[in-house]
Structure 1
Amino acid sequence: MIIIGRDDPAREDVYQLLSEHLADMFATSPAESVHALDHSALSGPSISFWTAREDGELLGCGALKLLDSPQHAGKLGEIKSMRTAAGARGRGVATLMLNHILEEARGRNFAHIYLETGTEEYFAPARRLYARNGFTPCPPFAGYVPDPNSVFMELRL
């Protein structure tokens, strides 16, 4: 059974997964278009971080970042660091993690959830996952700027 729970981004196996994630981001996107966070940034007070595990084995991770936005009514969040371990791909881990993050956001009365992902073919599965779950394209948010290598998406909760 896959269990999703709060975790420490600096935990050894999580640190390794996040390092692989960052390496892949820099290998597939220009450096100025990489918006992935490292383990120390994911430990910040505005971020909730979870991992998916089965029998203790790390299958994936994801985070929810609280956004500051005085121009919007209600709380806003951003999905960060969604990553499935290579050996766990195709098992629905990303869908489970996304559903967990969205349930958390709804439980905390968030009004909108945003995300940024890449335009390269490498990111096509992520874009399909988000679209299947109701995310739609939106303009850049929270300090992002238009970028031909980025897709911005939102979900109204």
Structure 2
Amino acid sequence: MIPKWKLAREFDRLKTQAQAIPLAIIEPFAQRRYDARRDLDLRISAGAQAAGKALAIFLVYQPGGVARSVFQTCAHMVENGFAPLVISNTPLSDMDRTTFQELSHMVVERPNFGYDFGGYRDGVWLVEKLGLRPFEVLFLNDSVWFPVSKSATLLADMRATPQDYVGTQVFGDVT
């Protein structure tokens, strides 16, 4: 006999898949509509950092106001030679926008369409639209608490590798 918990789990999985059917039909049309209106839906503000060979597409979602640690992450990227392109999936306050402008090449406020991947997609689109040709691109999300210490060398270590693509992952106990 199949345990009840397994049946419940499989029923929940089927419910989730069934709910995704209408989205699979609607989302391609919604994506095309968004793409056609993208220039109208994005609020783009120039920043103080010049675009160079290293660019960071820094995705943030801070609907209650930007945490100080997020600005510290942005400053750390600048200190390590990256020009951040800040993509906010929610409107920013004037003060937060101004702070990001000091720490970035550009600040983009967008609707939260497509969530994180939608924001990264708009960042890559904007890099192309602006004709930027970075040699290095760092993709970073504000959900990553980084750097944890002032002596962090992760960005330098990543840049020193001969690999074309480098990523990080934490496995197990991070203490």
Q: TM-score range by the shorter chain?
A: 0.3 to 0.5
Instruction: Kindly name which structure, 1 or 2, has the bigger radius of gyration based on alpha carbons.
Output: 2
TM-score of the aligned structures, taking structure 2 as reference length:
0.30
Structure with greater helix percent: 2
